[in-house]
């Protein structure tokens, strides 16, 4: 019997290895994050990213993501914009170079699509 030709992933049950953020990014707590690539499509890498509770600053990559679990708030430092609250069901488009502040209150897990590389951590 051969494997199914379609990609099938249980993104909620997936085990993700985590690493600590650099001290220059951490604002509060001891958050960690991890990335598991799943597949690619025409130069776009699609995978699952997760971050544990805490506050970090980040410089974004081009990315579209869909939150499947957890809660967080993303504040936009540059360019300034209204913050967004993330929860399961939220779809977001970020642009390369945006400076953000992530406040995760419940471990957040998202499916992300980026141009051929891991989302910025």
pLDDT attached to residue 116: 75
pLDDT attached to residue 5: 66
pLDDT attached to residue 117: 56
Coil, strand or helix at 86: strand
pLDDT attached to residue 9: 84
pLDDT attached to residue 22: 94
pLDDT attached to residue 74: 98
Nearest partner of 19 among 43, 47, 40, 49, judged by Cα: 49
pLDDT attached to residue 3: 61
Whether residue 70 contacts residue 86, with contact meaning beta carbons closer than 8 Å, is answered with yes
Which segments in the chain show pLDDT lower than 70?
A: 1-5, 117-121
pLDDT attached to residue 41: 86
């Amino acid at each position: 019997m051969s494997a199914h030709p379609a990609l099938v992933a249980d993104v909620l049950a997936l085990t993700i290895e985590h690493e600590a953020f650099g001290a220059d990014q951490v604002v509060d707590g001891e958050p960690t994050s991890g990335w598991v690539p799943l597949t690619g499509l025409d130069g776009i890498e699609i995978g699952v990213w997760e971050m544990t509770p805490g506050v970090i600053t980040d410089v974004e990559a081009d990315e579209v993501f869909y939150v499947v679990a957890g809660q967080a708030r993303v504040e936009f430092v540059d360019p300034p914009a209204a913050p967004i609250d993330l929860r399961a069901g939220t779809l977001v488009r970020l642009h390369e170079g945006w400076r953000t502040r992530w406040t995760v209150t419940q471990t957040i897990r998202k499916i992300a699509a980026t141009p051929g590389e891991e989302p910025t951590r």
